[in-house]
Amino acid sequence: MAGLNDNSFLAQFGTNGGGGGGGSVNSVTGLNTDNTDPTNPIVEISVDGSTITGAGTPASPLVANIGSNKLLVSYHMNNNFSPSGNNTYYFGQQSSIGSSINQAVAVPIPAGTLTEVITNTYVAGSFGSSEGSTFTLWTNTNSGTPTTDVIATGVQFPSANPRNLSQSFTGLSISVVTGGSFIQVDTPTFTSAPSSVQIRVSLIIEL
């Protein structure tokens, strides 16, 4: 018996003549109910093959897929800085960006898979050229062997109004472990460097 969708769970209910008495079932109300035979109505629980799967049998039970848990992790620095070309900077969550890894305030993250990176750059001062920077994620920073993964290339600062520029980098599949983390920024050779900028980075981690 097929339901409204390709797969259906069929539960048949009949009358019981024993115990407290007999009688018949006139109908059963609900979604996808077949009352052609009132004494044996068929209730069909439709599945969509995605959020609910299975045939509703012992060999193929119904399974609800609620999806994976996702965590948003943010990195930011609050004070404006003026980047120079071909330089490296580091930040986690802190007031001022650092020029060495020892100046980065690490952000704790859980183990999981990094799937997406969202960046936002802001120019409070003078606009510059549009060459892109490379962002690298440092993880497991509280160990003697931290891990580095390039998570975004071509990250630009706004070269004209509006002063905020957001970019999204998807399709990533980078394993991360529990521990500290921060962002490394490698600037390009600017034709004209921007001044008084800020950077925000958000990571989407599937747990």
Contact 25, 41 (CB under 8 A): yes
pLDDT, average across residues 114-142? 96
Q: What is the pTM of this model?
A: 0.71
pLDDT confidence band for 86 (50 / 70 / 90) = very high
Tell me if 44 sits within 8 A of 171, measured CB to CB: no
112-123/164-169 β-pairing: antiparallel
Domains of the chain: 1-66 (no CATH), 70-206 (2.60.120)
- pLDDT, the chain, mean: 85
Comparison of pLDDT for 42 and 133, the residue scoring more? 133
pLDDT tops 80 at residue 182:
yes
In this predicted structure, the answer to whether residue 7 has a pLDDT above a threshold of 50 is no
pLDDT greater than 90 at residue 125: yes
Mean pLDDT value of segment 167-177: 96
10-63 residue pLDDT tens: 444 444 555 455 556 666 665 566 777 777 766 666 777 777 787 767 677 777
CB atoms within 10 A of CB 194: 24
For 167, the token pair is: 């970019």
- How many residues in the chain? 207
